[in-house]
Structure formats: structure tokens, C-alpha cells
Structure 1
């Protein structure tokens, strides 16, 4: 959208002083190659210990088509994980509302609330990925966001559908969300003063989010129709997600204003998304523990609980297994389009599996469900989740020769999707539904793991594996003459001869190693 860049051109110019500072970092970088992947390692500006404030730096970016990044392992920070704990409670609250009221209006409400919560989590995740300092400012932002989102979640659960405090809860949820949104917008503009490498992206996103912030302000008009409110909320989300895709796309990176362009820390981003996925699967486990009182003894309810656990475990396995290849190019490294697709697919994946995980509690408790919509929501949640895992695996480029080609390895994921989609029509009881789902998941895991073995692999070689003898220490089978060694060493000492390393080695070779 060139018109947008021209409109914003007065604020997109990089101050020359900051530009030269960025070029100085580039001049001090060194070329690095890791596993065939080449980039330039930026100097790591170590901050003084116990500093309350640290100047933010771009941890990775592109310049003239070359990647520059700060090297070193970047694991999830303590306060990032602390934020995730809040989201554990939030998503459980959102999905349980649908489990208690399994109808289409509550499902729509769940999706709108979930995607708005996800938007805040994503914006904060990107801040930590690109400008992590762990100073008092970032910790304060995390605390402010957590306070705002806690208020948002508790009020959002009571929005609409005849609740006597619905309007109060609705307005409180909107206001708290807007406050959090404003904090993140202000943070983008503040950080853009110090980070010329990402100035264009942050200010364009800041301006777009100012527009969506004003658009969502229409939601504060009291007593408007729910149709109007849902349209405004979804429109704001669509604008934010659409411009996010555009800004990270190759089309935006080639514009005249983007001398520097953004990059992502693959290890950290993958770590954060994996952490979110585990939180999502935690909903399946929560359904086993929160209703543990109904699982007494080894009855049919216990069997259903085991099947739910198998489904969750298999879903986790498939996510980690990805496309089964060992030598591959990650979606975030393969291309901008696969990277965008990899990020976006996590949204329906998480939204669908959270819902299925919470409804799984109803499957464990009852033989027959009172509301048939629960069957639909559970099965289609699994179908969408499994299909999302199939798409995610397609984003990875496999580079090794395995027993089966990639599409054959992933075939059962598509078969699972079809069967999950048709399963509600069979009108089975909860035990048989879980049995079909768990068996399908196990078959899929076994199929993919066998198909992912090396082409020349013999499954029995693992059992008959013998360690490489050449790498083992050479131990003499002859008994060591310890007394002879001691006598020779004593003779050398009496002759006032120095036992240098060469003499010691000759003695060891003569009599064998005797240990310490």
C-alpha cells in the first residue's frame, strides 16, 4: 500500500544520528555460519549489572539482504512465562463458558474474545522477541498488561445473553482491553525513538493500531446492537492482522522507506509458540483433574479419562514431530510466506483445541451428552486442530530421504480430519467417540514415526546397537605389574632423575596404565 507510506512519510524518516549508530553496529558484526545457515553476528552490548533501565536494541534485522542478529541462546524469560500462567486461566474461563452453554452465539462470543486476547499476547511476544531487555520498563509493561487482561477476562465471561450485569461487564471488558492496547501502542512509539532498524515497522503498526483503537472506541457507545458490536470488533481484528501480514511480507520490505527490515529470532519464537501450544493442551489435562471426583475406581469414566489423555499426548507428539524430517528448513527460515503462514495457523489451532479440551471434561463425566452441540464442537475442534497441524507441517521444507515421502507420511492427518468431521453424524455415545478419536491419534503417530525413519534403516538395528569400539578407551587385557612400575619410579627418584611427561609415558607404555 504505497499510499499509506506516502501518507506517513513525515514520521518514517530515520534520524541520521540513529542511522549511523545502526551502521556502526553493522560494521562491527562478524560473519557466522551455523549448520549451513549464514548470518552476521552483531556485537552484544552488555548492560551494566543491576541497571533499572536499558537502552533497547534490535536483536535481529535485515540490511541489504543480509541477516544481522545477536548470537547466543535466547530462552523464554521468567516474566514471559509468568504472563503465560495468566493465559492458562483466561482460556480455561473462555472455553468453559461454551461448555456450559453449547450454542452458536456463545461459540461466536468465545471466538471474538479469544482472538482479541491472542492479539495482545502476540504483540507482547513480538516486543520480547525483538527488543528483550528485562528491565523495569518491560516488567512494568507485563504487569500492566496482566492487570488489564485479568479484568478483561473476568468481565468478558458475563457479556451478553440475558445476564443482569451484562452491559456493565461488557463496558468494563472493552475499557480494560483499550487500556492494554494503548499501553502497547505507546510502547511501540517510545521504542521507535531508539531502534532505527525497526522504526518504520513500529510506527506504521502504531498508526494502524491508533486507527483500530479509535474504531473500537465505538464499542463504548451504550446499548448498541450486538450485531454492530461484533462487526466492529471483527473489523478491527481484520485490519490489525491484515497489516501485520503486509508489513512482514516481501512486498513491504522492498519499499523505499525500508532500508532496514525486520527479522525474527527463530529459536525464541518457536519456544514461545510451543509454550502456548502446551498451555492449550493443558485444557485436556485439566478436564481429567478438575472432575477427578467422578473417576472413582476403574470404571468406564476412568477409561474415558485415559482416552482423553492419549488424544492430548498424541496431539503434542504430532506438533513436536512436525513433518518428521530431521534435516529441514524451518518455516520461519524457509520464506516470508511460510513464516507468516506458520504464525497465523497457530490461531485457529489453539482456538479449536482449547474448546475441544474443555469439552472433553463433559465427555469424561457423562455416557450420553444432554446437548448434542457438545459433540459437534468437540469433533470439529479436533478436526480443525489436526488440519492446522497438517498445514503447519507443509510450511517446513524437508531435506532428507526417509522411508516414505512427506505427503504419504502426513496422509493420516487428512484422514483424521475427514473422520472427525463425519463422527457427529454417527451419534455415538461419549465412550465410543473418545475410542474412535484416541485410536485414530495412535495410528497416526505410529504411521508417521515409521514413515520418518531413514530410508536404509532397519528397525532391529536399534536393539542390536553396538557402541563404536574405536572411540572407547584402550584397556589392556594383560594384568598390570604395579610393583614393577613402583620399583622403576623409585629407582629414578634415587638417581635424582626428573620424571618428566616423556619418561612417564614410556613407563606407562612399558607396563600398561595403572590408573591414579
Structure 2
């Protein structure tokens, strides 16, 4: 159990409006392997974190739209390479707010500054293969955002000692890694060379993040105090980003009123897209369907890192799949590239949701539910594989493809929901205690009598 420190002085400072700039203090940390929390209260996403998410709605939509307009292998590589850096910046902000959130003037201005830099990145990143100016603006803005976050970590390491060594290790290595992006500024380097440099840089950044916060780094640094996360806040932030991605399913089925007027085939595709998004949201929330389970962030370090890293391919795949599904409302039928992008995106997304369920550790007694865990979630990879291969059925049109996918996802949802019931459970609970309590009725009558 984590130990909470009731520090009244800090609480008073946090509530005092005269402190425009507050001392950044670690909210939780490990001390000799024991989790310590500064305040024993549940963390939720701050208003300015949610405001940041609004910008990502536009950024992600712009990236998906760019890919959907010209679908090819090269454009898919570009999509992955421009989406990953934007995810890294969001992750940097998430970690800073998770560990040092105090909602002072400095942190609010930090979010505003990073959002302004992301506006530059979001506008230029889709054009990196067309204009060297856009390439330089996108890479430069990304490097500015990462350096800003690294400098923030460095400054915070002087204000609070609990994460100091790991923060400085991450800030140093992360800043050095940005040098790999330097070749992207030069016009005489081929596009293939720039793709290779960007791919190496993105991969190294992922590896370094895992290294700097894994137990091996803690042993190497011989730390007494080490980083810890507020699990509730982390879960909340990842779920919020997932909802942003699902918003891509819903935006285009309304924009432009393409499904009007009356009942028509386009309206059917719009409704099917909505149902698919609803099922994906349900499956993410449902996790592995256990009555009691240990979240990956709480289970062990391997499942914790897996939980964080699985979200990048999950959002990347569902973002493009959802965009094509929603965009079909405005089209007569799918072209072959759109057909493949839709099915591969949704199929890979379902595969990621299967892995997402696997890393949850069920604590249920054996045989207490209708189906054991692996039987409950087995339909996810089966459905994902069928979805991936669905474009091979060339005779299916857009409405039929969406109908098949929708039917499979609804089946998975029903399968897992029924399989997660306790054995002997009833479908309907009897309604009891629907009448007013007798004592309360007598009190009312007494008052009416004026007694």
C-alpha cells in the first residue's frame, strides 16, 4: 500500500492564489522500493490538459486526412513518422503533469507554448515530402517542443530530488537523440535518407524512454528515490487520447450532412460506423472482462511499459481505419486502396485490443465466470484477422464491408459481455424497494397535518 504524506504547508501553498509560481514537487515516488504519495487523493486530468487534447483532435484528423487522400506505401510510412513525434510530445506533457502537476502560472504557460509549437508542427508535418520549408518547420518545431520538455525536466530536478537522477538522464539522452533529426534540414540529402534518419530517431526515442525509467536504469544510477506514476491519472489520460481517436469515426459522419436526406444507404454506413466506434470504446473499457483484475500499470514493470507502448500502434491503426469508415458516408464506394486501409486499420486495432486485454492480470477464482479469460477474448484476434483479410472479398461494396465489420464487432461485444457474467447470473434483476419507505410516508403525513 502506498504511504501518503499529509503536508499541510504544501496544501496551503497549493490553495493560496498569491503563489503564481509554485515550487514543483514530486507527487509520488519510490523510496527503497516503497511507493510514497504526497497526497492521498485521486488525481484527474486538469482542465488545461483537456484543453491540450482539443488541439490533438485537429492534428490527428489532419494526419489521417492526408493519408486517406493519397493512399500508398510511401504515404503510410510518412503517416507513421509524423504521427509518432506528435505522440512523443503528448507523452512528455502527460508525464510532467502526472509527476509535478501544481497548476501554477508556469505550467499553464508551458502548455500554451507547447500548443503553439504543435500548431506549427501540425500544419507542416503533412507536407514534409513536398516542400523543404515544411520539412524544416516540422522538424524544427518538434525539436523545440522536445527541448522545452527536457529543460522543464531539468529545472524540476533542481526543485525536487525524488526523480532527479532519472530526469537528468532522460533529459540528456533525449536531447542527444534529437541530433539524429539534423539531416532532415538539408536539401541535398535524399528523401530515402531522411526517412531512414527519422525512423531511427523515432525508434531510439522509444527505446531510451523505456531504458531511462526501467529498473535497470535505477540500479545503474543507484538511486534511493526513483520515479513513480499516479496510476489513476495515467489511465485517465490514455483513455482520453483513445476517445480522441474514436472521435475520428464520428466527425465525418455528420460533417457536410452527407447522409441526408431521409433513409438511404449513406445513412446506413454512418450508423454502422457509429456502432463500430461504440464497440471499440466498449472493448477498451471492458479490458479483459474480469470481475477483479490488476491493471497493467500496477501489475509489473513489463506490463506497465507494454500498456504505454501499445497505445501508439493502437491509435495509429484505428485513426486511419475510422477516418476511412466515416469518409465512406460521402463516397459512392471504396476504391481498392481505401478498402485495404479501412480493413488493415480496424484489424490491427482489434489485434492491439487483444494484446491490451492479455496484459491485464485477472484475479478471479477459476471457474467463477461463464468463460475463462482466454476463451472470452479469443474472438478479438479471430475478428482482427478476418477484418485484415476482408479486402480479398472483391465482390463486397462499401456498405457490405462495413456491415460485415459491424456485425463481427457486435458479436465480439456480445460474446465477451455474456462470457464475463458470473455463473448462475440472471439477465434481469428483479425490481425491489420501488415504493416509498413507510416511515418517510408517515413523516410527510405529519407535516401535512401541521403537527
TM-score range, shorter chain: over 0.9
The yes-or-no answer on 1:384 pairing with 2:348 is yes
Q: Distance in 2 between matches of 1:476 and 1:154?
A: 63
Q: Distance in 2 between matches of 1:131 and 1:442?
A: 41
2:108 pairs with 120, 139, 148, which one? 139
The yes-or-no answer on 1:177 pairing with 2:142 is yes
1:448 pairs with 416, 420, 431, which one? 416
SS in 1 for 2:127: coil
Structure 1 residues 478, 142: closer, same or farther in 2, change over 3 A? closer
* 1:261 alignment partner in structure 2: 226
Q: Distance in 1 between matches of 2:415 and 2:32?
A: 44
* 2:240 alignment partner in structure 1: 275
Indicate the structure (1 or 2) with the bigger Cα radius of gyration: 1
SS in 2 for 1:82: helix
Structure 1 residue 251 displacement after superposition: 2.5
Q: Any idea what the Cα deviations from partners look like across 1:146-169, whole Å, max 9, x if unmatched?
A: 111111111112222xx4xx1111
Structure 1 residue 410 displacement after superposition: 0.6
The yes-or-no answer on 1:361 pairing with 2:326 is yes
* 2:71 alignment partner in structure 1: 102
Q: Is the 1:364–1:430 contact (alpha carbons within 8 Å) kept by the matching residues of 2?
A: no
The yes-or-no answer on 1:405 pairing with 2:372 is yes
The yes-or-no answer on 1:150 pairing with 2:119 is yes
Structure 1 residue 102 displacement after superposition: 1.0
Q: Any idea what the Cα deviations from partners look like across 1:368-404, whole Å, max 9, x if unmatched?
A: 223x111111101111111111111111111223211
Structure 1 residues 481, 289: closer, same or farther in 2, change over 3 A? closer
Q: Distance in 2 between matches of 1:229 and 1:173?
A: 13
Q: Is the 2:121–2:137 contact (alpha carbons within 8 Å) kept by the matching residues of 1?
A: yes
- Describe how 1:308-387 pairs up with structure 2 within 5 A: 308-370=273-335, 372-387=336-351
Q: Distance in 2 between matches of 1:191 and 1:457?
A: 52
Q: Any idea what the Cα deviations from partners look like across 1:416-455, whole Å, max 9, x if unmatched?
A: 1111011010022101100000001111111111111112
The yes-or-no answer on 1:430 pairing with 2:398 is yes
Task: Give the gaps of 5 or more residues in structure 2.
Answer: none
Q: Is the 1:189–1:203 contact (alpha carbons within 8 Å) kept by the matching residues of 2?
A: yes
Structure 1 residue 456 displacement after superposition: 2.9
Structure 1 residues 296, 247: closer, same or farther in 2, change over 3 A? same
Q: Runs (4+) of structure 1 moved beyond 6 Å?
A: 476-482
Count residues with an aligned counterpart: 441
Q: Any idea what the Cα deviations from partners look like across 1:82-137, whole Å, max 9, x if unmatched?
A: 11111100000001011110111111111100001000000111000000011111
* 1:466 alignment partner in structure 2: 432
Q: Distance in 2 between matches of 1:480 and 1:306?
A: 49
The yes-or-no answer on 1:80 pairing with 2:49 is yes
Structure 1 residue 467 displacement after superposition: 4.2
2:360 pairs with 385, 396, 415, which one? 396
Q: Is the 1:198–1:261 contact (alpha carbons within 8 Å) kept by the matching residues of 2?
A: yes
Structure 1 residues 478, 353: closer, same or farther in 2, change over 3 A? closer
Q: Distance in 2 between matches of 1:74 and 1:209?
A: 28
Structure 1 residues 173, 455: closer, same or farther in 2, change over 3 A? same
| TM-score (structure 1 length as normaliser) | 0.81
Structure 1 residue 477 displacement after superposition: 10
1:247 pairs with 207, 212, 233, which one? 212
- Describe how 1:21-170 pairs up with structure 2 within 5 A: 38-44=1-7, 45-46=10-11, 47=13, 48-69=16-37, 70-160=39-129, 163=130, 166-170=131-135
The yes-or-no answer on 1:230 pairing with 2:195 is yes
SS in 2 for 1:157: helix
Structure 1 residues 477, 153: closer, same or farther in 2, change over 3 A? closer
Q: Distance in 1 between matches of 2:293 and 2:363?
A: 5
SS in 1 for 2:427: coil
Root-mean-square deviation (Å): 2.3
The yes-or-no answer on 1:302 pairing with 2:271 is no
Task: Give the gaps of 5 or more residues in structure 1.
Answer: 1-37, 487-513
* 2:186 alignment partner in structure 1: 221
Q: Is the 2:146–2:175 contact (alpha carbons within 8 Å) kept by the matching residues of 1?
A: no
Q: Is the 1:291–1:361 contact (alpha carbons within 8 Å) kept by the matching residues of 2?
A: no
Q: Is the 2:322–2:346 contact (alpha carbons within 8 Å) kept by the matching residues of 1?
A: no
Q: Distance in 2 between matches of 1:191 and 1:217?
A: 27
